[in-house]
A = this chain, B = another copy of it.
Protein backbone atom coordinates (compact mmCIF):
# COMPACT_ATOMS: atom_id res chain seq x y z
CA UNK A 1 0.00 0.00 0.00
CA UNK A 2 1.42 3.36 -1.06
CA UNK A 3 1.37 6.02 1.64
CA UNK A 4 -0.38 9.28 0.79
CA UNK A 5 1.56 11.42 3.23
CA UNK A 6 -1.71 13.13 4.08
CA UNK A 7 -4.29 13.59 6.81
CA UNK A 8 -7.47 11.57 7.18
CA UNK A 9 -10.38 13.95 7.63
CA UNK A 10 -14.04 12.94 7.44
CA UNK A 11 -13.20 9.77 5.55
CA UNK A 12 -10.90 11.39 2.97
CA UNK A 13 -7.13 11.51 2.65
CA UNK A 14 -5.99 15.09 2.16
CA UNK A 15 -2.50 16.28 1.48
CA UNK A 16 -3.18 19.94 2.14
CA UNK A 17 -1.67 21.95 4.97
CA UNK A 18 1.68 23.59 5.36
CA UNK A 19 5.23 22.38 5.09
CA UNK A 20 6.01 18.72 4.73
CA UNK A 21 8.37 16.54 6.69
CA UNK A 22 10.20 13.25 6.47
CA UNK A 23 10.80 10.92 9.32
CA UNK A 24 14.03 9.01 9.77
CA UNK A 25 15.03 5.43 10.26
CA UNK A 26 16.65 5.69 13.70
CA UNK A 27 18.91 2.71 12.97
CA UNK A 28 20.40 4.17 9.79
CA UNK A 29 19.57 7.86 9.72
CA UNK A 30 17.93 7.37 6.34
CA UNK A 31 15.09 9.79 5.52
CA UNK A 32 11.96 7.77 4.81
CA UNK A 33 9.51 8.57 2.03
CA UNK A 34 7.02 10.05 1.50
CA UNK A 35 7.05 13.58 2.84
CA UNK A 36 4.13 14.11 5.20
CA UNK A 37 1.93 17.19 5.10
CA UNK A 38 1.71 19.26 8.26
CA UNK A 39 -1.77 20.06 9.52
CA UNK A 40 -2.61 23.69 10.22
CA UNK A 41 -5.70 25.48 11.45
CA UNK A 42 -7.72 24.67 8.35
CA UNK A 43 -7.25 20.92 8.75
CA UNK A 44 -7.94 21.09 12.49
CA UNK A 45 -11.15 22.98 11.83
CA UNK A 46 -12.23 20.51 9.16
CA UNK A 47 -11.76 17.52 11.46
CA UNK A 48 -13.41 19.35 14.38
CA UNK A 49 -16.34 20.33 12.17
CA UNK A 50 -17.01 16.75 11.09
CA UNK A 51 -16.83 15.22 14.58
CA UNK A 52 -20.03 16.57 16.20
CA UNK A 53 -22.09 15.58 13.16
CA UNK A 54 -20.67 12.09 13.46
CA UNK A 55 -21.52 12.03 17.18
CA UNK A 56 -25.04 13.19 16.41
CA UNK A 57 -25.52 10.66 13.60
CA UNK A 58 -24.18 7.79 15.67
CA UNK A 59 -26.69 8.55 18.45
CA UNK A 60 -29.48 7.10 16.31
CA UNK A 61 -27.62 3.81 15.69
CA UNK A 62 -28.18 0.68 17.75
CA UNK A 63 -26.43 1.18 21.07
CA UNK A 64 -23.62 -1.33 20.58
CA UNK A 65 -22.21 0.06 17.31
CA UNK A 66 -18.79 0.77 18.86
CA UNK A 67 -18.25 -2.97 19.37
CA UNK A 68 -18.65 -3.56 15.64
CA UNK A 69 -16.25 -0.73 14.93
CA UNK A 70 -13.55 -1.87 17.36
CA UNK A 71 -13.70 -5.50 16.24
CA UNK A 72 -13.50 -4.41 12.63
CA UNK A 73 -10.53 -2.10 13.30
CA UNK A 74 -8.68 -5.00 14.93
CA UNK A 75 -9.35 -7.16 11.89
CA UNK A 76 -8.21 -4.44 9.48
CA UNK A 77 -5.00 -3.88 11.47
CA UNK A 78 -4.14 -7.58 11.22
CA UNK A 79 -4.92 -7.46 7.49
CA UNK A 80 -2.18 -4.86 7.05
CA UNK A 81 0.22 -7.70 7.82
CA UNK A 82 3.91 -7.17 7.21
CA UNK A 83 3.45 -3.77 5.60
CA UNK A 84 2.59 -2.40 9.07
CA UNK A 85 5.38 -4.27 10.84
CA UNK A 86 7.96 -3.28 8.22
CA UNK A 87 7.06 0.38 8.26
CA UNK A 88 6.91 0.51 12.06
CA UNK A 89 10.26 -1.28 12.26
CA UNK A 90 11.86 1.22 9.87
CA UNK A 91 10.38 4.20 11.72
CA UNK A 92 11.06 3.09 15.30
CA UNK A 93 13.95 0.59 15.17
CA UNK A 94 11.88 -1.63 17.45
CA UNK A 95 12.59 -5.31 16.75
CA UNK A 96 10.01 -7.28 14.80
CA UNK A 97 9.24 -9.63 17.71
CA UNK A 98 8.41 -6.66 19.93
CA UNK A 99 6.22 -5.13 17.24
CA UNK A 100 4.37 -8.40 16.78
CA UNK A 101 3.67 -8.64 20.49
CA UNK A 102 2.68 -4.99 20.67
CA UNK A 103 0.31 -5.52 17.76
CA UNK A 104 -1.20 -8.46 19.63
CA UNK A 105 -1.66 -6.25 22.68
CA UNK A 106 -3.27 -3.54 20.55
CA UNK A 107 -5.69 -5.96 18.94
CA UNK A 108 -6.34 -7.44 22.38
CA UNK A 109 -7.18 -3.99 23.77
CA UNK A 110 -9.62 -3.37 20.94
CA UNK A 111 -11.25 -6.75 21.64
CA UNK A 112 -11.43 -5.99 25.36
CA UNK A 113 -13.19 -2.68 24.77
CA UNK A 114 -15.48 -4.31 22.18
CA UNK A 115 -16.41 -6.90 24.80
CA UNK A 116 -17.09 -4.11 27.30
CA UNK A 117 -19.49 -2.56 24.80
CA UNK A 118 -21.19 -5.90 24.09
CA UNK A 119 -21.64 -6.49 27.81
CA UNK A 120 -23.08 -2.99 28.09
CA UNK A 121 -22.79 -2.56 31.86
CA UNK A 122 -20.08 0.10 31.38
CA UNK A 123 -22.81 2.75 31.19
CA UNK A 124 -23.15 2.28 34.97
CA UNK A 125 -26.93 2.58 34.82
CA UNK A 126 -28.27 3.49 38.25
CA UNK A 127 -32.02 3.76 38.69
CA UNK A 128 -33.88 4.99 41.77
CA UNK A 129 -37.57 4.57 41.10
CA UNK A 130 -40.25 7.00 42.25
CA UNK A 131 -42.22 6.90 45.45
CA UNK A 132 -45.20 9.20 44.94
CA UNK A 133 -46.42 8.51 48.48
CA UNK A 134 -43.24 9.61 50.26
CA UNK A 135 -43.64 12.37 52.85
CA UNK A 136 -43.09 15.29 53.07
CA UNK A 137 -42.48 15.35 49.32
CA UNK A 138 -42.91 12.62 46.68
CA UNK A 139 -39.73 10.87 45.58
CA UNK A 140 -39.01 11.41 41.89
CA UNK A 141 -37.79 8.76 39.46
CA UNK A 142 -34.06 9.37 38.81
CA UNK A 143 -31.99 7.37 36.33
CA UNK A 144 -28.33 8.00 35.63
CA UNK A 145 -25.93 6.65 33.03
CA UNK A 146 -22.62 7.44 31.37
CA UNK A 147 -22.72 9.16 28.00
CA UNK A 148 -19.93 10.14 25.61
CA UNK A 149 -18.23 13.44 26.45
CA UNK A 150 -17.87 14.59 22.85
CA UNK A 151 -14.83 15.09 20.66
CA UNK A 152 -11.68 13.57 22.17
CA UNK A 153 -8.19 14.56 21.04
CA UNK A 154 -5.50 11.90 21.32
CA UNK A 155 -1.83 12.72 21.03
CA UNK A 156 -0.07 9.52 20.12
CA UNK A 157 2.98 8.31 22.02
CA UNK A 158 6.37 7.70 20.43
CA UNK A 159 7.29 4.62 22.42
CA UNK A 160 4.29 2.40 21.71
CA UNK A 161 3.54 3.04 18.04
CA UNK A 162 0.64 0.56 18.12
CA UNK A 163 -0.56 0.19 21.72
CA UNK A 164 -0.50 3.97 22.42
CA UNK A 165 -0.49 5.15 18.85
CA UNK A 166 -3.27 6.06 16.46
CA UNK A 167 -5.62 3.27 17.59
CA UNK A 168 -4.00 2.56 20.92
CA UNK A 169 -5.59 2.47 24.34
CA UNK A 170 -6.75 6.11 24.42
CA UNK A 171 -8.44 5.96 21.01
CA UNK A 172 -10.03 2.58 21.69
CA UNK A 173 -11.39 3.73 25.07
CA UNK A 174 -12.77 6.97 23.64
CA UNK A 175 -14.39 5.25 20.64
CA UNK A 176 -15.80 2.44 22.82
CA UNK A 177 -17.99 4.89 24.70
CA UNK A 178 -19.08 6.62 21.51
CA UNK A 179 -16.84 9.67 21.21
CA UNK A 180 -15.42 10.99 17.94
CA UNK A 181 -11.61 10.91 18.12
CA UNK A 182 -9.10 13.19 16.46
CA UNK A 183 -5.55 11.86 16.64
CA UNK A 184 -2.36 13.79 16.18
CA UNK A 185 0.07 11.13 14.98
CA UNK A 186 3.53 11.14 16.52
CA UNK A 187 5.92 12.71 13.99
CA UNK A 188 8.52 9.97 14.58
CA UNK A 189 6.34 7.37 12.86
CA UNK A 190 3.90 9.05 10.47
CA UNK A 191 3.82 6.12 8.06
CA UNK A 192 2.80 3.76 10.83
CA UNK A 193 0.14 6.29 11.82
CA UNK A 194 -1.21 6.47 8.28
CA UNK A 195 -1.42 2.69 8.00
CA UNK A 196 -3.27 2.41 11.29
CA UNK A 197 -5.63 5.22 10.28
CA UNK A 198 -6.30 3.40 6.99
CA UNK A 199 -7.43 0.41 9.08
CA UNK A 200 -9.86 2.66 10.96
CA UNK A 201 -11.20 4.10 7.72
CA UNK A 202 -11.70 0.65 6.26
CA UNK A 203 -13.57 -0.37 9.41
CA UNK A 204 -15.79 2.72 9.34
CA UNK A 205 -16.59 2.01 5.68
CA UNK A 206 -17.22 -1.68 6.14
CA UNK A 207 -19.51 -1.00 9.10
CA UNK A 208 -21.10 1.99 7.37
CA UNK A 209 -20.44 4.29 10.31
CA UNK A 210 -20.06 8.10 10.17
CA UNK A 211 -16.60 8.87 8.81
CA UNK A 212 -16.24 11.90 11.04
CA UNK A 213 -15.89 9.60 14.06
CA UNK A 214 -12.16 9.45 13.42
CA UNK A 215 -9.51 11.75 12.02
CA UNK A 216 -5.72 11.63 11.78
CA UNK A 217 -3.72 14.82 11.53
CA UNK A 218 0.00 14.69 10.84
CA UNK A 219 2.49 17.30 11.96
CA UNK A 220 5.51 18.11 14.04
CA UNK A 221 4.62 21.43 15.61
CA UNK A 222 3.68 22.25 19.19
CA UNK A 223 1.29 24.73 17.61
CA UNK A 224 -0.75 21.90 16.10
CA UNK A 225 -1.08 20.25 19.51
CA UNK A 226 -2.06 23.59 21.01
CA UNK A 227 -4.71 24.19 18.36
CA UNK A 228 -6.23 20.80 19.05
CA UNK A 229 -6.26 21.23 22.82
CA UNK A 230 -7.67 24.75 22.73
CA UNK A 231 -10.28 24.14 20.03
CA UNK A 232 -13.81 24.95 21.21
CA UNK A 233 -15.11 21.53 20.08
CA UNK A 234 -12.59 19.51 22.11
CA UNK A 235 -14.07 17.95 25.24
CA UNK A 236 -11.14 15.89 26.57
CA UNK A 237 -7.54 15.05 25.71
CA UNK A 238 -5.54 11.84 26.07
CA UNK A 239 -1.77 12.22 26.01
CA UNK A 240 1.23 9.97 26.62
CA UNK A 241 4.65 11.55 26.57
CA UNK A 242 7.04 13.81 28.40
CA UNK A 243 6.29 15.78 31.52
CA UNK A 244 7.19 19.01 29.80
CA UNK A 245 4.81 18.48 26.89
CA UNK A 246 2.06 17.04 29.07
CA UNK A 247 2.18 19.95 31.47
CA UNK A 248 2.16 22.47 28.63
CA UNK A 249 -1.01 20.92 27.22
CA UNK A 250 -2.59 20.71 30.68
CA UNK A 251 -1.87 24.40 31.22
CA UNK A 252 -3.40 25.33 27.86
CA UNK A 253 -6.53 23.30 28.62
CA UNK A 254 -6.90 24.78 32.12
CA UNK A 255 -6.65 28.31 30.72
CA UNK A 256 -9.43 27.82 28.15
CA UNK A 257 -12.62 29.85 28.59
CA UNK A 258 -14.22 26.45 29.27
CA UNK A 259 -11.51 24.28 30.83
CA UNK A 260 -11.32 20.65 29.70
CA UNK A 261 -9.45 17.70 31.19
CA UNK A 262 -6.08 16.67 29.78
CA UNK A 263 -5.33 13.11 30.86
CA UNK A 264 -1.57 13.17 30.48
CA UNK A 265 0.44 10.09 31.35
CA UNK A 266 3.91 11.52 31.71
CA UNK A 267 7.33 10.58 32.89
CA UNK A 268 7.85 8.51 36.00
CA UNK A 269 10.85 7.45 38.09
CA UNK A 270 9.19 4.19 39.23
CA UNK A 271 11.28 3.65 42.36
CA UNK A 272 12.35 0.14 43.32
CA UNK A 273 13.14 -0.50 46.99
CA UNK A 274 15.21 -3.60 47.70
CA UNK A 275 15.02 -4.45 51.37
CA UNK A 276 18.07 -5.95 53.12
CA UNK A 277 16.61 -9.45 53.40
CA UNK A 278 15.98 -9.54 49.66
CA UNK A 279 19.59 -8.55 48.97
CA UNK A 280 20.81 -11.31 51.29
CA UNK A 281 18.43 -13.83 49.82
CA UNK A 282 18.61 -13.25 46.07
CA UNK A 283 20.86 -10.33 45.11
CA UNK A 284 22.06 -11.93 41.87
CA UNK A 285 18.65 -12.88 40.56
CA UNK A 286 17.14 -9.47 41.32
CA UNK A 287 20.10 -7.73 39.66
CA UNK A 288 19.73 -9.78 36.47
CA UNK A 289 15.97 -9.42 36.27
CA UNK A 290 16.06 -5.73 37.14
CA UNK A 291 18.62 -5.11 34.41
CA UNK A 292 16.25 -6.73 31.92
CA UNK A 293 13.41 -4.52 33.19
CA UNK A 294 15.52 -1.34 32.94
CA UNK A 295 16.53 -2.16 29.37
CA UNK A 296 13.18 -3.51 28.14
CA UNK A 297 12.29 -1.73 24.91
CA UNK A 298 15.56 0.17 25.12
CA UNK A 299 14.59 1.67 28.47
CA UNK A 300 11.81 3.51 26.67
CA UNK A 301 8.93 2.35 28.86
CA UNK A 302 7.01 4.78 31.06
CA UNK A 303 7.23 2.12 33.76
CA UNK A 304 11.01 1.72 33.51
CA UNK A 305 12.53 1.46 37.00
CA UNK A 306 14.71 4.58 37.08
CA UNK A 307 15.73 4.75 40.74
CA UNK A 308 16.79 1.77 42.84
CA UNK A 309 16.98 2.16 46.59
CA UNK A 310 19.26 -0.18 48.52
CA UNK A 311 20.34 -0.27 52.15
CA UNK A 312 24.05 -0.01 52.82
CA UNK A 313 26.58 -0.72 50.09
CA UNK A 314 24.64 -3.81 48.93
CA UNK A 315 27.70 -4.87 46.97
CA UNK A 316 26.57 -8.26 45.68
CA UNK A 317 23.53 -6.64 44.11
CA UNK A 318 25.19 -3.48 42.80
CA UNK A 319 28.15 -5.34 41.32
CA UNK A 320 25.98 -7.77 39.43
CA UNK A 321 23.70 -5.01 38.17
CA UNK A 322 26.73 -3.07 36.99
CA UNK A 323 28.13 -6.11 35.18
CA UNK A 324 24.81 -6.76 33.48
CA UNK A 325 24.38 -3.16 32.36
CA UNK A 326 27.99 -2.89 31.19
CA UNK A 327 27.73 -6.10 29.19
CA UNK A 328 24.85 -4.68 27.16
CA UNK A 329 25.59 -3.13 23.78
CA UNK A 330 24.18 0.12 22.42
CA UNK A 331 20.44 0.62 22.15
CA UNK A 332 18.91 2.32 19.12
CA UNK A 333 16.42 4.79 20.52
CA UNK A 334 13.15 5.82 18.91
CA UNK A 335 14.55 8.98 17.40
CA UNK A 336 17.61 11.19 17.47
CA UNK A 337 16.25 13.97 19.69
CA UNK A 338 15.41 11.37 22.36
CA UNK A 339 18.90 9.92 22.21
CA UNK A 340 20.42 13.40 22.41
CA UNK A 341 18.21 14.20 25.34
CA UNK A 342 19.28 11.07 27.21
CA UNK A 343 22.94 11.70 26.41
CA UNK A 344 22.66 15.22 27.77
CA UNK A 345 20.94 14.05 30.95
CA UNK A 346 23.49 11.34 31.76
CA UNK A 347 26.35 13.75 31.01
CA UNK A 348 24.75 16.16 33.48
CA UNK A 349 24.43 13.43 36.11
CA UNK A 350 28.03 12.33 35.67
CA UNK A 351 29.21 15.81 36.65
CA UNK A 352 27.26 15.99 39.92
CA UNK A 353 29.57 15.79 42.95
CA UNK A 354 28.76 12.66 44.92
CA UNK A 355 27.43 10.74 41.93
CA UNK A 356 29.52 7.75 40.83
CA UNK A 357 29.38 6.59 37.25
CA UNK A 358 29.15 2.80 37.47
CA UNK A 359 28.67 2.36 33.73
CA UNK A 360 29.43 5.25 31.43
CA UNK A 361 27.09 5.77 28.53
CA UNK A 362 28.19 6.87 25.09
CA UNK A 363 26.14 7.88 22.07
CA UNK A 364 26.83 6.19 18.75
CA UNK A 365 25.39 6.02 15.24
CA UNK A 366 22.37 8.12 14.31
CA UNK A 367 20.20 7.51 17.39
CA UNK A 368 22.00 4.92 19.51
CA UNK A 369 23.42 5.02 23.00
CA UNK A 370 24.90 2.48 25.39
CA UNK A 371 23.15 1.98 28.77
CA UNK A 372 24.25 3.95 31.81
CA UNK A 373 24.23 3.20 35.53
CA UNK A 374 24.88 5.62 38.37
CA UNK A 375 25.30 5.35 42.11
CA UNK A 376 24.81 7.92 44.81
CA UNK A 377 23.73 8.36 48.40
CA UNK A 378 20.32 9.45 49.65
CA UNK A 379 21.53 12.89 50.75
CA UNK A 380 22.97 13.64 47.31
CA UNK A 381 19.86 12.41 45.52
CA UNK A 382 17.65 14.60 47.68
CA UNK A 383 19.63 17.79 47.17
CA UNK A 384 20.05 17.45 43.37
CA UNK A 385 16.81 18.24 41.50
CA UNK A 386 18.30 16.99 38.21
CA UNK A 387 18.66 13.47 39.62
CA UNK A 388 14.96 13.52 40.40
CA UNK A 389 13.96 13.95 36.77
CA UNK A 390 13.26 11.05 34.48
CA UNK A 391 16.02 9.93 32.10
CA UNK A 392 13.95 8.44 29.29
CA UNK A 393 16.02 5.59 27.87
CA UNK A 394 18.50 2.99 29.11
CA UNK A 395 19.72 4.59 32.33
CA UNK A 396 19.15 4.18 36.07
CA UNK A 397 20.47 5.39 39.43
CA UNK A 398 21.17 3.27 42.50
CA UNK A 399 20.59 5.26 45.70
CA UNK A 400 22.22 3.98 48.85
CA UNK A 401 20.13 4.55 51.98
CA UNK A 402 21.27 4.00 55.53
CA UNK A 403 17.88 3.17 56.98
CA UNK A 404 14.14 3.06 56.26
CA UNK A 405 13.65 6.73 57.20
CA UNK A 406 16.22 7.61 54.57
CA UNK A 407 14.41 5.60 51.92
CA UNK A 408 11.11 7.19 52.87
CA UNK A 409 12.63 10.64 52.44
CA UNK A 410 13.95 9.68 49.01
CA UNK A 411 10.54 8.34 47.99
CA UNK A 412 8.81 11.52 49.13
CA UNK A 413 11.36 13.54 47.21
CA UNK A 414 10.64 11.53 44.04
CA UNK A 415 6.93 12.24 44.43
CA UNK A 416 4.28 10.71 42.18
CA UNK A 417 5.10 7.67 40.06
CA UNK A 418 3.15 5.22 37.96
CA UNK A 419 4.63 2.36 39.92
CA UNK A 420 6.56 1.53 43.06
CA UNK A 421 8.29 -1.79 43.56
CA UNK A 422 9.44 -3.50 46.77
CA UNK A 423 11.63 -6.55 46.98
CA UNK A 424 11.05 -8.25 50.30
CA UNK A 425 13.19 -10.98 51.81
CA UNK A 426 12.90 -13.10 54.94
CA UNK A 427 12.51 -10.97 58.09
CA UNK A 428 12.07 -7.71 56.16
CA UNK A 429 9.39 -5.36 57.47
CA UNK A 430 7.87 -3.98 54.26
CA UNK A 431 5.09 -2.02 55.92
CA UNK A 432 6.75 1.41 56.25
CA UNK A 433 7.73 1.45 52.56
CA UNK A 434 4.42 -0.02 51.42
CA UNK A 435 2.54 2.55 53.44
CA UNK A 436 4.45 5.40 51.87
CA UNK A 437 4.08 3.99 48.37
CA UNK A 438 0.32 3.93 48.88
CA UNK A 439 0.51 7.72 49.05
CA UNK A 440 2.80 8.16 46.07
CA UNK A 441 2.19 5.64 43.29
CA UNK A 442 -0.60 4.14 41.20
CA UNK A 443 0.55 0.51 41.24
CA UNK A 444 2.62 -1.32 43.85
CA UNK A 445 4.59 -4.39 42.77
CA UNK A 446 6.11 -6.83 45.23
CA UNK A 447 9.04 -9.09 44.31
CA UNK A 448 8.58 -8.32 40.63
CA UNK A 449 9.22 -5.61 38.06
CA UNK A 450 7.06 -2.71 36.95
CA UNK A 451 7.53 -3.01 33.18
CA UNK A 452 4.89 -5.05 31.42
CA UNK A 453 1.51 -3.51 32.16
CA UNK A 454 -1.23 -6.13 32.24
CA UNK A 455 -4.32 -5.01 30.29
CA UNK A 456 -7.10 -6.08 32.65
CA UNK A 457 -10.04 -4.85 34.70
CA UNK A 458 -8.01 -4.32 37.86
CA UNK A 459 -5.13 -2.41 36.26
CA UNK A 460 -4.30 1.09 37.49
CA UNK A 461 -1.86 2.76 35.14
CA UNK A 462 -1.71 6.23 36.56
CA UNK A 463 -0.53 7.94 39.69
CA UNK A 464 -0.03 11.26 41.44
CA UNK A 465 1.60 14.15 39.62
CA UNK A 466 4.05 14.24 37.89
CA UNK A 467 3.20 10.68 36.79
CA UNK A 468 -0.11 11.98 35.43
CA UNK A 469 -2.25 15.11 35.55
CA UNK A 470 -5.17 13.22 37.17
CA UNK A 471 -4.23 10.71 39.84
CA UNK A 472 -7.73 9.23 39.89
CA UNK A 473 -7.61 7.91 36.33
CA UNK A 474 -5.95 4.96 34.60
CA UNK A 475 -4.91 4.95 30.94
CA UNK A 476 -4.72 1.14 30.71
CA UNK A 477 -7.48 -1.38 31.28
CA UNK A 478 -11.24 -1.30 31.20
CA UNK A 479 -11.51 1.52 33.75
CA UNK A 480 -9.71 3.84 31.33
CA UNK A 481 -13.06 4.63 29.67
CA UNK A 482 -13.94 6.73 32.72
CA UNK A 483 -11.80 9.51 31.26
CA UNK A 484 -14.11 9.88 28.30
CA UNK A 485 -17.58 9.65 29.80
CA UNK A 486 -19.85 11.98 31.68
CA UNK A 487 -22.87 10.98 33.73
CA UNK A 488 -26.33 12.38 33.07
CA UNK A 489 -29.38 11.97 35.28
CA UNK A 490 -32.91 11.80 33.89
CA UNK A 491 -35.72 12.83 36.21
CA UNK A 492 -39.27 11.64 35.56
CA UNK A 493 -38.57 11.14 31.84
CA UNK A 494 -41.23 9.21 29.88
CA UNK A 495 -39.95 5.74 29.10
CA UNK A 496 -39.93 6.20 25.32
CA UNK A 497 -37.73 9.29 25.63
CA UNK A 498 -35.12 7.56 27.81
CA UNK A 499 -31.96 6.08 26.30
CA UNK A 500 -32.48 2.30 25.87
CA UNK A 501 -30.03 1.56 28.72
CA UNK A 502 -32.43 3.23 31.17
CA UNK A 503 -35.79 2.08 29.82
CA UNK A 504 -38.06 -0.04 32.00
CA UNK A 505 -37.93 -3.07 29.70
CA UNK A 506 -34.10 -3.10 29.74
CA UNK A 507 -34.06 -3.74 25.98
CA UNK A 508 -30.23 -3.97 25.98
CA UNK A 509 -30.33 -6.70 28.63
CA UNK A 510 -27.58 -5.05 30.67
CA UNK A 511 -26.83 -5.24 34.36
CA UNK A 512 -28.11 -2.15 36.17
CA UNK A 513 -28.39 -0.95 39.76
CA UNK A 514 -32.06 -0.55 40.61
CA UNK A 515 -32.89 0.81 44.06
CA UNK A 516 -29.50 -0.37 45.30
CA UNK A 517 -29.64 -3.89 43.79
CA UNK A 518 -27.60 -4.99 40.79
CA UNK A 519 -29.87 -6.80 38.38
CA UNK A 520 -30.67 -7.45 34.74
CA UNK A 521 -34.37 -7.43 35.52
CA UNK A 522 -36.87 -5.17 33.80
CA UNK A 523 -38.81 -2.63 35.83
CA UNK A 524 -42.41 -3.73 36.16
CA UNK A 525 -43.88 -0.91 38.18
CA UNK A 526 -45.76 1.81 36.42
CA UNK A 527 -43.87 5.07 36.08
CA UNK A 528 -44.87 8.35 37.67
Contact = CB atoms under 8 A, between A and B. Distances in A.
A448 interface: yes
A149 interface: yes
A442 B145 CA distance: 11
B489 A458 contact: yes
A169 interface: no
Given A254-B254, A258-B464, A472-B485, A434 B491 contact: no
A482 B119 CA distance: 23
Contact of A438 (B147, B261, B445, B460): B147
Max chain B Cβ within 10 angstroms of own Cβ: one of A464, A472, A474, A485: A472
B140 A491 contact: no
A126 interface: yes
A489 B250 CA distance: 25
Interface string A116-135: 00000000001110000000
B456 A259 contact: no
Interface residues of A, number: 72
Interface string A468-495: 0111101000010010011111111110
B251 A446 contact: no
B446 A494 contact: yes
Contact of A142 (B56, B137, B458): B458
Nearest to A147: B438
Given A136-B101, A259-B465, A142 B456 contact: yes
B445 A491 contact: yes
Interface string A374-407: 0000000000000000000000000000000000
Nearest to A260: B465
Contacts of A447: 492
Contacts of A101: 136
B488 A454 contact: no
Contacts of A472: 149, 261, 482, 485-487
- For A445, A488, A491, the residue with the greatest tally of chain B CB atoms inside 10 Å of its CB is A491
Nearest to A430: B497
Contacts of A466: 258
A41 interface: no
Contact of A491 (B137, B443, B457, B482): B443
B458 A143 contact: yes
Given A448-B140, A465-B259, A470-B261, A460 B434 contact: no
A435 interface: yes
A497 B259 CA distance: 40
Interface in A62-114: 101
A142 B513 contact: no
B469 A259 contact: yes
A444 interface: yes
B488 A460 contact: yes
A487 B474 contact: yes
B452 A137 contact: yes
A416 interface: yes
A258 B415 contact: yes
A446 B492 contact: yes
A48 interface: no
A54 to B, nearest CB: 14
Contact of A443 (B474, B482, B488): B488
Contacts of A360: none
Contacts of A424: 494
Interface string A137-154: 101101110010110000
B416 A454 contact: no
Contacts of A487: 442, 460, 462, 472, 474, 479
A59 interface: yes
Contact of A128 (B454, B469, B490): B454
A459 interface: yes
A431 interface: yes
A70 to B, nearest CB: 18
Of A254, A434, A435, the most chain B CB neighbours within 10 A belong to A254
Contacts of A454: 128, 139-140, 142, 491
Sort A-B residue pairs by CB-CB distance and give the 10 closest, nearest first: A254-B254, A460-B489, A142-B458, A443-B489, A126-B458, A144-B458, A258-B465, A128-B458, A445-B491, A128-B456
Interface of A: 56, 59, 101, 126-128, 136-137, 139-140, 142-144, 147, 149-150, 250-251, 254-255, 258-259, 261, 415-416, 424, 430-431, 434-435, 438-439, 441-448, 452, 454, 456-460, 462, 464-466, 469-472, 474, 479, 482, 485-494, 497, 513, 516, 518
Given A126-B458, A140-B454, A471-B486, 6 more contacts: A128-B457, A128-B458, A139-B454, A261-B470, A434-B497, A443-B488
